[in-house]
Structure 1
């Protein structure tokens, strides 16, 4: 059981913790708007992951795997939505103002970001098919695996949120703030484009 748990944790951290649109969006949001103001965005991202876990368990991931055109359409919609969030981060006011706080990514933004992301469904499909925890009953195997995956996601996403928050000091200098925000936004867009290219190839 311990060996299976460690394999599952390692695979989940690698799949969900690698720099992708959602982790980079979290880091960029907390660097731009602050950790506290980005907590609703984190909540939305985690809620979207719960939807992806449920989708993997109830066959949405299998459907996306057998219908690549549908998956690609979702990927494009998600890419456009991530581009919208990247634009809001890149063009946010340099100083912390009430207007800036109002423009921060919301809980709904985070939820939609992961809900439309077919890679999240595929990641959980891979985890459930390769790293299922041993238990006597099938529902326990899937339930425990889902619980561990979600726990890893919370830790990983909090790490990205705090890493972005650590960059907040850089953002207090107007000279560097715009440059770093634009770089984070471009990194988000680059991961989206890379994902689309890999998906299409």
Structure 2
């Protein structure tokens, strides 16, 4: 059981923590708006992930498998949200935190970003099909696996947010702030384009 737990933790950390639109959005928010003002966005992302875990574990994911157009629409909506959040980060006012926080991505932004993210569904299909924790009761196996994944996601997402916050001084330096924010936002858009190239 311990080896399977460690394998689940490691795989979840790699799948959810690798640089992609959500981790980059968290880092960008932490760097641009600070930790305190990004917590609602983080809470939304984690709540969206809870929805993904529940939907995946109860098998509603079959809808995405049998109807590829639904998956494509989710990817399109997710891409649009990532780009919108990237624009918020790139256009945030410089040197005025009070004004910048007006444009901070919200709880609903984070929730929609993760609940529409086909990559998250694909990750949990893999996790539930290959790394399900072995309990005699199937329901308990799914709940335990989902809770472990959620705990790993919380840790990984908080680390991305903290990483971004460490960059806040650079992000808010008068000379470099705008080019760095635009570069960071561009990386978010590139990850979306790369995801679409793999469809």
CA distance in 1, matches of 2:37, 2:174: 20
CA distance in 1, matches of 2:14, 2:74: 23
String of CA shifts for 1:143-192, please: whole Å, max 9, x gaps: 11000000000000000000000001112311111111111100100011
Point out where structure 1 has 5 or more consecutive residues left out of the alignment: none
Tell me what 2:188 maps to.
Answer: 188
SS in 1 for 2:93: coil
CA distance in 1, matches of 2:183, 2:112: 23
CA distance in 2, matches of 1:160, 1:96: 23
Deviation of 1:119 (Å)? 1.4
CA RMSD of aligned residues (A): 0.9
Tell me what 1:158 maps to.
Answer: 158
Point out where structure 2 has 5 or more consecutive residues left out of the alignment: none
Query: Where in structure 1 do 4 or more consecutive aligned residues deviate above 6 Å?
Result: none
SS in 2 for 1:51: helix
Tell me what 1:39 maps to.
Answer: 39
CA distance in 1, matches of 2:60, 2:93: 39
State TM-score, norm by structure 2. 0.97
State TM-score, norm by structure 1. 0.96
Tell me what 2:28 maps to.
Answer: 28
Tell me what 2:140 maps to.
Answer: 140
Count residues in correspondence: 199
Deviation of 1:3 (Å)? 0.3
CA distance in 1, matches of 2:70, 2:21: 20
* Contact residue 56 and residue 121 of structure 2 kept, 8 A: yes
CA distance in 1, matches of 2:181, 2:172: 12
Deviation of 1:133 (Å)? 0.5
Deviation of 1:81 (Å)? 1.3
